[in-house]
Structure 1
Amino acid sequence: SLGGNGRDIDSDLQLGEADDSEILSFGLQLSYDLGGAVLTSLTGFKDHEYIYAEDFDGTPLGINAYAQDQEGNYFEQEVRVVSDTDGPLSWYAGASYYKEEIDVLFTQAADEEVMCQFYWSYYGINSCSEYFAYYYYAFTPTPEGLVESNAVRGRYHGWAAYVDATLALSEKFDIGVGVRYSKDVKKFAISAPPVTSDLGPYFGVGFTTAEPLEDKRSWDAFTPRFIARYYPTDDWMLFASATRGFKSGGFGSFFISPSSVTYCGPFDDSCLGLTNADASPNFFDPEKVWSYEAGVKGTLFGGATRLDANVYYYQYKDLQVNVPGTGGGILVDNVGDVKGWGFEASTTTDLGEYFDLYFAGAYADTDVTDAQPLCDGTLDCEGSSLGYVPKFSASASLNFSYPVGPGAIKASAQAFGQTKTYGGLLKPDYAVNDAYMDLSLRAGYASDAGWSVIGYVENVTNELYYDGVSEGGNFIPAHYFGPSRPRTFGVLMTYEFGR
């Protein structure tokens, strides 16, 4: 049984709790006027160390504790040239390169007796000792429980080149065409050390290796973009665009190929001490999308209201997703096709001298096909919508500013809400994130000298909602994660230097 409530989590935290990072980042931008064009160089470098731990199942049982110890660095260089003339043709072109190194150690821990009870109580076996005795073995508990770990090493690099041109056919109409070529090269290795528990590595990772299992793959794509803009008046613009999108393929951190080597269990050593002759890292293919958009931007009531609205349609091919409950690991695979369309709009209106009102709303409708791995291997989810995309969402903000002395009294009321979302395509009743609205109030004084004191109340109505929900899979139960902060009072004091 679970204790606590929607915000007080009843959890075992077998591997502790951590979310700590150290990040070092450098950036350099250099620009040079070529006369008719501007040459810009962008250089970036980031180094990070990251430690994370959580109770993945969210229960007081030792089902699956998770930890991640990660370090890596990333370098990028981009050079672009942008035209700077008054003629009907404007353009930009450039090229970029990146190189990334990343090393991660993943750890998963579980209670040995919980695992034995889950998998074999159906057969009348309620302890690891009973299970081992059935096969004429003796079971010796391990003090730290069942701990499985695996390490991954990624060495990635890639480059891209692009060009885009816009031609004004008249004062009211222009068209733009662009194309980008991208190529990614990824070298990946995965290894898993022996497990001290008598149960073996068959619950979290599913295998051990005698050497790092390595693979190297590359992916590339041309992605064009087309756009047309029409200006019926000085205050309005209509536009339509079509864009090809591409997300590179990659490797999963918890699965290997062929998958048959991850389906063995205790007393079976065919998953132990694997070499590159036995298996290789699991890879997945690129994700591709065509997206189409049409919209309008303009002003009303003499400029008092600014409007931005658009309608869109997209079609994904080979969507990259996590497939839960597959063998001993988590499989990243290309599953199904997704079609979607929606509408988005936002307005800002000046309500007299001291007030302004902002409002934004969105509607989204999606359709998923050929996603059997996400639907217990059936076609029951054909035509279902993406569970984590709300059908409706909206936000609003009423802002007040009144000059007082060398500054102003400022206040605002801000609200955001959305309709219910789900943990996946199956959409069971026990994995629904209900609709909610979050209201916040702020009031205070901001000085022209750069300091301000603002009092606030966040989540005024004390709404309980979550970042998301998972339907679960295999021995992981359905669970909610990221509970909202309760009603919170505070004072924010700031000072901006160098004003």
Structure 2
Amino acid sequence: MLGVTPCLSDVAVADDATAPLPVLISPDWRLIDAQRTPRTVDHFQGGELDRSGVSNTIDLQYRSPGLVFKTNTVLGQPYLRGVGSDFISAGAESSVAAFIDGVYLPRAYDLIVDFYDVDRVEVIKGPQGVHLGRNVVGGAVSIHTVDPQPYRSGYVDFLVGNYNRRQMRGAVNVPFSDSAWAMRVAGIVSRRDGYMENIFLGTDANDEDFHAGRAKLLYEPSPDFSALFTVEGYREDSSRAMGSQPDPDVGTSGGINMGGTVPDDPRKITENVPPGIELDADRYSARLIWNRHGVEVRSTTAYLTTDAALQTDLDGTDADFASNHPSGDSTAWTQELRLSTSPYRTFSWVTGLFVLDERANQTLDVRLPQADARNVPDGTVDTRAYAVFGELGYRWSPRWRTTAGLRYSHDRREIDLVHTRTSGTDTAVATQRERDTWQAVTPELGVEFTPSLQQLYYARVSRGYKAGGFNTSTIQDPFDPEFLWAYEAGYKVSSPDRRSRFNASLFHYDYRDLQLNTPPSGAEEGTFPRVINAARATITGLELDMLWGVTQALDLGLGMTLMKGRFRKFDSVDPNNPDVDPDRSGKRLPQAPDVSANLGAAYRWPLYRGTLTLHGDYRYQSQVFFNIYQDPAVRQGSYGLLNLGLAYDSHARNDWYAELFVNNVTDELYAQTILRNDPLTGTKRHWGAPRTVGMRVGYRW
């Protein structure tokens, strides 16, 4: 999705650095070749993700070092290199964005994306102001699904596993005879029993039940023009990522104080309110590409709707103390128009326009039956944003190239919030109707040195910006934008056949006005958190990516991020520990592990007109804290996850494939999320997936 470097296979080049400039012969200049892109990009092919057991964006953290993907029920809260956000509001967006086929996804409801018929996924690290439609401060996850092809093809596969897991995926690609039209239809149905057992209600929690479908229609009458139309729908009715277990020894839980019980078994819960998610999402988009006289004109138009309703037990016990019944919806229209030339010209350029128009609603509904009280903030936010951007590139010689980019962003939000509090027969209503505007200019500068086709040195400086916003959970003043200056220098080298590579990058972030979530000090039960701007933080790190093709049969891989993320200047009282020194200077950032690493190995050997592959992946993460106060109660210690698989792929024209896999082989117990809010919920842990075993069998033609 980055529009700076084409795929290597699409370029005719010579390895001699004094040879003429490469000639671009592909009409799509936005395909990434990660080895030739002057920034840190983790690139995964769809089949590679399948073999690694990565089925959605949550699982990407187990393959991409530096990525931590926190969840809060159906909300996705990704962090990249310590940059992210965990507050819930229709008046703000994530600091780490997600895109599907170039379409920006504005809501946290949309960030948990299940993969099916995926061509590739790119985790792009650091601020982006020119090469993605929407500006991002921390980075982005860019998902590319398979486009229609000019030949008949398709596949279908079935997966079964423990916890009664059943999944079917498939796709059919049909070109229309003697025409420039082709269509591809893909879909998935997935069901699973819960990882948690609710022994109070006699039901499961953290189960999975969703289905999705996508249809793409491609019109390509010539190499100079193409039009792609996409319709996609997603439906979920489950309790995925829900079901929590309170810690009776830490914090103050209203449910436990009322006599609620907590099982000793971490996979068992006693919630008296069954958790549930109902989520409907639709996406319609049109992508038009013209190539005329060496200039590509690309238009991406999208219309997105999301509708979600949830219910969750806040205290996590069998006491009828507190529950929340939130809902939310979003209707968004986006338009990106981009003109660009090949970066392999002596003088190259990119220019474009991005527009976002969204209406989003969030309603929370906290109920305290024993106190006969309810707290219901109902907020609607209209967002209208636009940006103009451009980049100039100049190739001083076949080896040296510099780039300079600039983006102007303008964001306007208007909130209409009605906050109703009920206690017995008393009702208090407060309202907020307010509008605010933010704008920013964010530059990008880069230099590249390419001594040969296999080597790249680069250095870049960029400024990230995330607009200010409104908190739809409670009435407060609008919060300010956050900014990040990013400095990165790196080196990339690979073997001619790309079976071996070594990439390294050093980065330093100067992060200011962080948008952070904090409960008010001394707040009563049922009070919602506020969003504040912290003064300053710095993040410094080293990232390594290595692949070694030891033999034709054996591959070894290593990815690692060593990082130090600390607040530089920040005072805030921890409402759960009000007697602790409020000076947070020098304290860790949330979701910022000092070490995260991925180890991988694959061994292949021929078997009956096919290939049998044994593969393993190990993910290690050092300790993290799940809030801004470095509270030991919300600390997840270091842990490691091991996945193993055995896959067979036939070499026949119409071929079968099959795989046996075991994820989390050692059945490691780790927290996906830990929340603390005294005296309402106390400390609650949402555990990650246990050991899962499964088999997938498929047929492609």
Q: How far did 1:178 drift?
A: 0.1
- Count of aligned positions: 432
Q: Is the 8 A contact 2:500 2:549 kept in 1?
A: yes
Question: Which of the pair has the greater relative contact order for Cα pairs under 8 Å at 6+ separation?
Answer: 2
Q: How far did 1:192 drift?
A: 2.7
- Code of the residue aligned with 1:254 in structure 2: it is S
* Residues 463/40 of structure 1: CA separation in 2 closer, same or farther (3 Å cut): same
- Return the match for 2:459 from 240, 250, 265: 240
Residue matched to 2:683: 478
Q: How far did 1:358 drift?
A: 1.4
Residue matched to 2:280: 22
Gaps of 5+ in 1: 114-144, 202-206, 258-281
- Return the match for 2:534 from 326, 331, 335: 335
Pairwise CA RMSD of aligned residues? 2.3
The question of 1:192 aligning with 2:412 is answered: no
The question of 1:180 aligning with 2:407 is answered: yes
What pairs up with 1:275-286 in 2 under 5 angstroms?
282-286=477-481
* Residues 300/78 of structure 1: CA separation in 2 closer, same or farther (3 Å cut): closer
* Residues 296/341 of structure 1: CA separation in 2 closer, same or farther (3 Å cut): same
Between the aligned partners of 1:237 and 1:297, the Cα distance in structure 2 is 5
Between the aligned partners of 2:342 and 2:495, the Cα distance in structure 1 is 31
Q: Is the 8 A contact 1:147 1:197 kept in 2?
A: no
Deviation string for 1:392-424 (max 9, x for gaps)? 111111112333344321221111111111233
Between the aligned partners of 1:342 and 1:414, the Cα distance in structure 2 is 23
Q: How far did 1:146 drift?
A: 2.6
What pairs up with 1:31-430 in 2 under 5 angstroms?
31-84=289-342, 87-112=345-370, 145-193=372-420, 195=422, 197-198=424-425, 208-209=429-430, 212-257=431-476, 282-299=477-494, 304-326=499-521, 327=523, 328-373=527-572, 375=574, 376=578, 378-430=581-633
Between the aligned partners of 2:283 and 2:456, the Cα distance in structure 1 is 39
Residue matched to 1:267: none
What pairs up with 1:459-474 in 2 under 5 angstroms?
459-474=664-679
* Residues 301/88 of structure 1: CA separation in 2 closer, same or farther (3 Å cut): closer
Q: How far did 1:286 drift?
A: 0.4
Q: Is the 8 A contact 2:419 2:474 kept in 1?
A: no
Between the aligned partners of 1:86 and 1:422, the Cα distance in structure 2 is 45
Between the aligned partners of 1:356 and 1:371, the Cα distance in structure 2 is 46
Between the aligned partners of 1:61 and 1:325, the Cα distance in structure 2 is 25
Residue matched to 1:120: none
Indicate the larger mover: 175-184 or 248-257: 248-257
Deviation string for 1:48-87 (max 9, x for gaps)? 2111222234344445422221222111111101114853
- Code of the residue aligned with 2:518 in structure 1: it is V
Between the aligned partners of 1:473 and 1:370, the Cα distance in structure 2 is 26
Residue matched to 2:695: 491
Alignment TM-score, normalising by the size of structure 1 = 0.81
Q: Is the 8 A contact 2:377 2:420 kept in 1?
A: yes
Deviation string for 1:182-229 (max 9, x for gaps)? 11111111113452635x57xxxxx523xx521111111111000111
Q: Is the 8 A contact 1:37 1:85 kept in 2?
A: no
Alignment TM-score, normalising by the size of structure 2 = 0.59
Between the aligned partners of 2:566 and 2:601, the Cα distance in structure 1 is 35
Q: Is the 8 A contact 1:63 1:476 kept in 2?
A: no
Q: How far did 1:306 drift?
A: 0.4
Q: Is the 8 A contact 2:600 2:617 kept in 1?
A: yes
Q: How far did 1:9 drift?
A: 4.4
Residue matched to 1:126: none
Between the aligned partners of 2:681 and 2:293, the Cα distance in structure 1 is 62
* Residues 322/86 of structure 1: CA separation in 2 closer, same or farther (3 Å cut): closer
Q: How far did 1:473 drift?
A: 4.0
Indicate the larger mover: 393-402 or 35-44: 393-402
Residue matched to 1:279: none
Between the aligned partners of 1:61 and 1:334, the Cα distance in structure 2 is 36
Between the aligned partners of 1:254 and 1:475, the Cα distance in structure 2 is 16
* Residues 365/320 of structure 1: CA separation in 2 closer, same or farther (3 Å cut): same
Q: Is the 8 A contact 1:62 1:109 kept in 2?
A: no
Partner of 2:470: helix, strand, or coil? strand
Deviation string for 1:441-492 (max 9, x for gaps)? 11132234354221111111110001132343453312222x1222221112
Q: Is the 8 A contact 1:13 1:65 kept in 2?
A: no
Gaps of 5+ in 2: 1-247, 249-260
Q: Is the 8 A contact 1:71 1:103 kept in 2?
A: yes
Residue matched to 1:138: none
Between the aligned partners of 2:271 and 2:685, the Cα distance in structure 1 is 16
Between the aligned partners of 1:150 and 1:219, the Cα distance in structure 2 is 25
Q: Is the 8 A contact 1:454 1:491 kept in 2?
A: yes
Q: How far did 1:303 drift?
A: 5.7
* Residues 87/185 of structure 1: CA separation in 2 closer, same or farther (3 Å cut): same
- Code of the residue aligned with 1:7 in structure 2: it is P
